[in-house]
Structure 1
Amino acid sequence: MTNSASAPRSAVRAIVTGHTRGLGAALAKALLQRDIDVLGLGRGTHGELASQYAARFAQAVVDLADPAALDRWLAGETLKAFAHGAQCVLLFNNAGTVDPIAPLGAQDALAIARAVALNVAAPLMLANALAAMPHSSASASRRVVHISSGAARNAYAGWSVYCATKAALDHHARAVALDAPPGVRVCSLAPGVVDTGMQQTIRATSVDQFPMRERFEQLKQNGLLSTPEAAAQQLIDYALSEAFGSVPTADVRDLVKA
């Protein structure tokens, strides 16, 4: 971890997985712009943010689709050192994959295993590690934000793996809400349809593999996709609000309407 020794540590700190591109990069940048220290986790690094926010930005290279590698990283001191003394620690479980996109019987077995590891095992392992850390005070909080999807709550042909993994995060949040340790809040939060690389992957998929491709093409053509930057601000606003954790699942589009 590379925080400047002379820079004051922020009372609120955030961990963002998949921070090098798309929504994860937008989350990391928006948090840093609010003077919130960020620890980014992923297979690569974000050079631009590292140069702009050297005093508040740390990164760890770990393959989140490899549970053994993540377990080894969690056994180290980086996460504990980053969270130590913080009044509030946010965990944005953002990293994920939409692959494999295909009907049952045409899915690659290793792609299924990787999707389950990245989309489900990693968020659950990180949430567990965060909840297990001692709080700096009785009023300190740990807030787990699972980045969910409409696919968690609606079935799509060709997306059985993605739907199942996102639904797993929703149900994990529902169960954790029943037994969370003091100071721990959780919400599986859908950000709406965001214009990221995942959307490019969806639009490049054949109709045979994903029959609803045309719907997502129309969302792009009609300018109905949210930008990563706008979605990030909504997610952060809710994560920092007093309402966070009052319900285990939510959608930012409903929050805006409310």
Structure 2
Amino acid sequence: MRHPYKALVTGHSRGLGEAIARALLAQGIPVLGLARADNPALADEFDSLLVQVRLDLSDPAAVLGWLEGGGLAVFAADGDALLVVNNAGSLGPVAPPGRQDGAALVQAVSLNVSAPLLLCDGAMRVGCASVRVAHVSSGAARTAYPGWSVYGATKAALDHHARAVQQDAPPGLRISSIAPGVVDTAMQTAVRASAPEDFPRLERFIGLKAAGQLSTPEAAAGRLVAHLLSDAFGTEPVVDVRELA
């Protein structure tokens, strides 16, 4: 039976993005995965439901070119509703201003902000009667951390994008920016490798890992996908999965 939903998931090649894609695929929802690399394990498990496109999401010209080339429209053509999960993201330069690598800063803004906004806009152009957009945000969007000015600012941009788009109220669109909690992914490994002088809160995150207080990607993805598919999705523009009923 054809599923009424189709889903685009960015950064599906590993970590939380892989877990989100798997959770959707397991429900019979076709997934278009966008990432710099393919995911062979997902392809083996869900060959008939998974479409993979290698795309550098930190290159806005490449993202725009892919959208203008009709890739998303072709994928969504026979679907009643389109889900967009903007998961791909970068921690960016971890340092106070004056010690931030300029190229890494530009790349983080392009990946964390430009790509999700372009994909949201592109999703509204494909003609589906219903579109649901989930930005994967962070607690760092809502709490300032020293050393994370770039990461926090880019995630806060997603939160505010969701708030403003709700004010636009485009017909058929539901949107929410969702913080998934502290998830045990490669990004958390990078956090724990930060220099203490650049990230003064380092010991807190080392402690969370040591105490087993990190969520698994599968658990976080399960809560996120359940919310994405629920009637409650989009009623609040900014949510945290840890606060969902």
How does the TM-score come out when normalised to structure 1? 0.93
Structure 2, unaligned runs of 5 or more: none
Aligned to 2:92: 99
> Which one of 168, 182, 193 corresponds to residue 193 of structure 1?
182
Q: Aligned partners of 1:101 and 1:143: how far apart in 2? A: 32
User: Residue by residue, what CA displacement relative to the aligned partner does 1:17-52 show, whole Å, maximum 9, x if unpaired?
Assistant: 000000001111111111110000010100111122
The CA deviation at 1:251 is 0.3
Q: Does 1:176 align with 2:169?
A: no
Structure 1, unaligned runs of 5 or more: 1-7
User: Residue by residue, what CA displacement relative to the aligned partner does 1:48-76 show, whole Å, maximum 9, x if unpaired?
Assistant: 11122111000111100000111111111
User: Residue by residue, what CA displacement relative to the aligned partner does 1:82-116 show, whole Å, maximum 9, x if unpaired?
Assistant: 11131221100000000210111000011110000
Give 1:131's aligned amino acid.
M
Q: Is the 8 A contact 1:9 1:37 kept in 2?
A: no
Aligned to 1:244: 233
Q: Aligned partners of 1:205 and 1:9: how far apart in 2? A: 46
Q: Aligned partners of 1:41 and 1:228: how far apart in 2? A: 18
Aligned to 2:216: 227
Q: Does 1:210 align with 2:203?
A: no
Q: Does 1:115 align with 2:104?
A: no
Q: Is the 8 A contact 2:60 2:114 kept in 1?
A: yes
Q: Aligned partners of 2:80 and 2:235: how far apart in 1? A: 19
Identity %: 55
Q: Does 1:31 align with 2:6?
A: no
Aligned to 1:46: 39
Q: Aligned partners of 1:180 and 1:14: how far apart in 2? A: 21
Aligned to 2:10: 17
- What is the root-mean-square deviation in Å for CA atoms of aligned residues? 0.9
Give 1:83's aligned amino acid.
A
Q: Does 1:57 align with 2:36?
A: no
Aligned to 1:144: 133
User: Residue by residue, what CA displacement relative to the aligned partner does 1:152-175 show, whole Å, maximum 9, x if unpaired?
Assistant: 001000000000000000000000
Q: Is the 8 A contact 2:93 2:105 kept in 1?
A: yes
Q: Aligned partners of 1:99 and 1:172: how far apart in 2? A: 20
Q: Is the 8 A contact 2:72 2:126 kept in 1?
A: no
State how many pairs are aligned. Answer: 245
The CA deviation at 1:10 is 2.2
| SS of alignment partner, residue 132 of structure 1 | coil
Q: Is the 8 A contact 1:26 1:232 kept in 2?
A: yes
Q: Aligned partners of 1:81 and 1:54: how far apart in 2? A: 18
Moved runs in structure 1, 4+ residues, more than 6 A? none
Aligned to 1:79: 72
| SS of alignment partner, residue 118 of structure 1 | helix
The CA deviation at 1:9 is 4.0
Q: Is the 8 A contact 1:43 1:61 kept in 2?
A: yes
Greater alpha carbon shift after TM alignment, 181-190 vs 72-81:
72-81
